[in-house]
Amino acid sequence: MKILKIDPSSQQRDIILKISKEILEGKIFIYPTDTVYGIGCGISFEEKIKEIYEIKKRSFDKPVSIAFSDLEMLKSYTILSEEEEEFIKKNYDKGYTFVVRKKRGKIPEIVSKGSKVGVRIIPLKLIQGIIRESMPIITTSANLSGKKAPAKISEIEKEILRRVDFILDGGKCKLGKPSRVIDLETMEILRDF
């Protein structure tokens, strides 16, 4: 397992290219977000998504979310009303996961079985650059299902650390708690801080 120290607010081209290549090869990795550390892989790798569920000991009937680089990338995978788009623009950097309608055939069923999917735009320049250069990634907290979500690498269980291909260590996550989940169609808060 490789650990790479990063500055999540930077736009270091060499790191973006190096990590993007790993994602395009189907690697599973741990990375910082604005909320807590996530575990993910590119959304094209269904076997790797299954492996993430197994690593976390997460039930396959619980959906995971997807992180996009920006609103334009998000719109090519989802169906958004003008109001939903505006809400995302104003709130993507406030620790939200948005539940929106997904386009048919664009998102693997294992991610979300229904007509909706949880999405994020992580407001960290380096993570956005990596996703833009590669593809949308799975984003779910880097913990065993039911355990506390980690705000720093030292809080991640060893059995998770051992099973990933690499780790991006960006220090302590700003919010330090899981994202607030909101369904943009109903404006219902499904999980609060």
Domain that holds residue 120: 2-191
For the beta carbon of residue 162, count every other beta carbon within 10 angstroms: 9
Residue among 45, 163, 177, 57 nearest 111 (CA):
45
Helix boundaries (H) for 35-182: 46-56, 71-75, 82-91, 125-133, 158-161
Quote the number of domains for the chain. 1
Contact 141, 37 (CB under 8 A): yes
One pLDDT digit (tens) per residue for the chain, 193 residues: 699 999 999 999 999 999 999 999 999 999 999 999 999 999 999 999 999 999 999 999 999 999 999 999 999 999 999 999 999 999 999 999 999 999 999 999 999 989 999 999 999 999 999 999 999 999 999 999 999 999 999 999 999 999 999 999 999 999 999 999 999 999 999 998 6
- Can you tell me the distance from the alpha carbon of 193 to that of 183, in angstroms, rounded to the nearest whole number? 15
CATH of residue 174: 3.90.870.10
